[in-house]
Amino acid sequence: MMDLLADSREVIRNDGLLLLQQLSRGNAAIQKIVAFENAFERLLDIVTEEGNSDGGIVVEDCLLLLLNLLKNNSSNQNFFKEGSYIQRMKPWFEVAEDNSGWSAQKVTNLHLMLQLVRVLVSPVNPPGATSSCQKSAFQCGLLQQLCTILMATGVPADILTETINTVSEVIRGSQINQDYFASVNAPSNPPRPAIVVLLMSMVNERQPFVLRCAVLYCFECFLYKNQKGQGEIVATLLPATIDANSISAGQLLCGGLFSTDSLSNWCAAVALAHALQDNSIQKEQLLRVQLATSLGNPPVSLLQQCTNILSQGSKVQTRVGLLMLLSTWMTSCPIAVSNFLHNQTNVPFLTGQISENLGEEEQLVQGLCALLLGICIYYNENTLENYTKEKLKQLIEKRIGKENFIEKLGYISKHELYSRAGQKPQPSYSTPEQMLFDHEFTKLVKELEVLIIKAVQKSSEDEKKEEEVKKSLEQHDSIVNQYKELIREQDMQLNDLKKQVSALSSENELSQATITQQTSQVQQLRDQYNLLKIQQGKDSQQHNIHNSEAAQINGIQPKADLEEMGRLREEVEQLKQRHDLLQGQLAEKESLIEKLVKIDLCISVCLLDKLRTQVQTQAAEISQLQAEKQALSQKLKNLDQTKAMTEEKSALDQQLASTNSTVAILQTENSKLQQDVIDSKKEQDDLLVLLADQDQKIFGLKNKLKELGEQVSPCWESNPGLSLARQVL
């Protein structure tokens, strides 16, 4: 069947495509077989031959088969990426500059092509597979090509919407792709960043609903795990970076946040919340934002303006968006909580909203108000005397009631749209009124709901005990960390000492080699000295011979030879002088040799003594450090055991508490059972009395029948129940 794709007859090839589509749909085993039979290569060749996105129905069939092979099949996706097939997708998205002639078939083909890209980079795929496909899309230029379509003019609205969604998932969580997207500019005069152009569409109520949702998703993906991008967005709201001559992302978000369109309010609030997600620095920076409300009035903070709009009773969608923004903003940010509580009207407004009995439409707002008030309790650092943790809990108990508060808090997770928003990151709603929850906010609610319920239900004594336990554990951890640091430092010192010992050992070996070399030099000088002595003996013998010859010459030679004798005497004198000179040099060399030997011996002995002393000292230090290390390790073990015992004690206390509660329940049930037994005994006694009365009546009737001459059998034979009752009585 795979060979049919390479058949030269188009009819057979096309029928083979249709047959493989039906077989591979929903069957992972067949999908793998088809993929490993070189299907990707053949299908991509057919798409190229047919003209890519300008092709006909055959291109659509190939794309549908590719979707069957890749969707929800991680092994095929990995094979597609490793086969470098992502690079071959780039020509699919090369559109003409005039963008004319968008036929229905071309729109369908491009839809399927964009879906193929989204299948490879879907957030539901394994993180490693998604990130590698995102990297390949950037390296081969596929992301750049998609951004070109994004900023092009004349693109159909549905293709533009799907392209925005595709770009969103290509850049989601990928720092390189997010940085590139931040640098993309629209072809306008003057050039504007693509993010600004997209946000202008998001806050424009005349744009299609699906397009606005796609832009919001793109903005969320741009900020997902992107602290650099979050900082850039928040910076456009700060006074020092505001440019009056240009429109920034921050200005568009503020404009959407306070516009009259409730959907723009919700989208802007969610987008701004994503700029603060898991980023405490930007949460504090956003507190600096000041807004000019009207001429002549002082500016108010962005936080205060949000609460002002809340208190004005706007539409439900607007209030839900603002409450989600405030909840995200104040989570893990005690400074924001303090600023919120500083306004005396905020807490009464929240308690009033929670305590009222409103309709079903307002229940979600009540739940979000309870969440916000719970955040004010949990992240409260007790900096304001009127709104400490304890006073806020007392206020809840008096004005709302703990059970009522927890019930209102549960309205959020019980809402029908809550679970739908938590399924996937992309917002998918059929109508604007359904846009009430954000995917990231649903995860935040899951984390906070349990913490807030515990914080509200805890008494002050429990909190004090918990704080004491926490402090003791922190002290214990700090002590353990100190010991760990000390052991680490001592290990470093021990390693340094070992290095010093090895260095001194090498120096010692070098000194030994130097001593050996100098000893050999001394031996050579001694040999030279012996040779000089031998030579001196020969010179003295020659001198004696010359003297005897001179005497003979004086006796027998005539006066004519006196000159030759004089010359010989001069030579003898020269030899004597040379001998004296050699003797002096020899004495100097001997003294020099003796000095050198003494100096070298002294240096060697001193150096060896010094080395031995250092080695002994360091060995003692090493042994002492090892002993200290063992003692610290033992202390660390003891501390770990103490911590484990503390944890075990807390677990045993919990078990004891649960056992006590079980015992109390069993005792209650036992008392109920005893009461049931007493009641049943009373009923049995009454029944037995009735049976006895009936027995007496029967005996009386029997006697009357006997008097009348009737034959009557014994009652216990005819009625066994009565005999049993008699026995019991």
Confidence of residue 395 (pLDDT cuts 50, 70, 90): very high
Task: Kindly state the DSSP code that residue 298 receives in the 8-state scheme.
Answer: P
What is the per-residue pLDDT across 485-533, written as a single tens digit (0 to 9) for each? Answer: 888 888 888 888 888 888 877 877 887 787 778 777 777 877 777 787 7
Say which residue the tokens 């299907």 belong to.
39
Q: Which H or E run includes 3?
A: none
What is the per-residue pLDDT across 286-295, written as a single tens digit (0 to 9) for each? Answer: 999 988 776 6
The 10 Å Cβ neighbour count of residue 65 is 26
Q: Is-contact 316 361, C-beta < 8 A? A: yes
pLDDT of residue 299: 86
What is the per-residue pLDDT across 365-380, written as a single tens digit (0 to 9) for each? Answer: 999 999 999 999 999 9
Q: Is-contact 356 400, C-beta < 8 A? A: no
Residue 473 has pLDDT above 70, yes or no: yes
What is the per-residue pLDDT across 304-333, written as a single tens digit (0 to 9) for each? Answer: 999 999 988 789 999 999 999 999 999 999
- β-strand partners of 185: 193
pLDDT of residue 722: 43
- For the chain, what percent of residues have pLDDT higher than 70? 77
Tell me the fold of 1-183: Leucine-rich Repeat Variant (1.25.10)
pLDDT of residue 19: 93
Q: What length is written for the chain?
A: 729
Residue 555 has pLDDT above 50, yes or no: no
Mean pLDDT of 183-190: 86
pLDDT of residue 241: 62
Residue 715 has pLDDT above 50, yes or no: no
Between CA 134 and CA 123 the distance in angstroms is 11
* Tokens at 3, concatenated: 């060979």
pLDDT of residue 268: 96
- For the chain, what percent of residues have pLDDT higher than 90? 44
The 10 Å Cβ neighbour count of residue 448 is 20
List CB contacts of 101: < 8 A, sequence separation 6 or more.
none
pLDDT of residue 504: 79
Residue 541 has pLDDT above 70, yes or no: no
Work out the mean pLDDT of the chain and round it to a whole number.
82
Residue 625: CA count within 13 A, CB half-sphere: 19
What is the per-residue pLDDT across 90-111, written as a single tens digit (0 to 9) for each? Answer: 999 987 666 666 889 999 999 9
The 10 Å Cβ neighbour count of residue 108 is 15
Mean pLDDT of 338-362: 88
Kindly report which listed range (107-111, 214-218, 388-392, 714-718) carries the lowest average pLDDT score. 714-718
pLDDT of residue 94: 85
* Tokens at 469, concatenated: 């336990």
Between CA 88 and CA 722 the distance in angstroms is 99
Q: Which H or E run includes 569?
A: helix 562-707
Between CA 564 and CA 566 the distance in angstroms is 5
Between CA 94 and CA 53 the distance in angstroms is 9
Backbone angles phi, psi at 173, to 5 degrees: 80, 0
Q: Judging by beta carbons within 10 Å of its beta carbon (0-12, 13-18, 19+), is residue 404 exposed, middle or buried?
A: middle
Q: Beta 185-186 vs 290-291: how paired, if at all?
A: unpaired
- Ordered by start, the domain boundaries in the chain are 1-183
What is the per-residue pLDDT across 195-208, written as a single tens digit (0 to 9) for each? Answer: 999 999 999 999 99
What is the per-residue pLDDT across 424-469, written as a single tens digit (0 to 9) for each? Answer: 999 888 899 999 999 999 999 999 999 999 988 876 565 566 666 6
pLDDT of residue 152: 87
What is the per-residue pLDDT across 565-585, written as a single tens digit (0 to 9) for each? Answer: 566 567 656 666 766 676 666
Residue 543 has pLDDT above 60, yes or no: no
Mean pLDDT of 139-163: 92
Residue 608 has pLDDT above 60, yes or no: no
pLDDT of residue 525: 75
Mean pLDDT of 611-621: 63
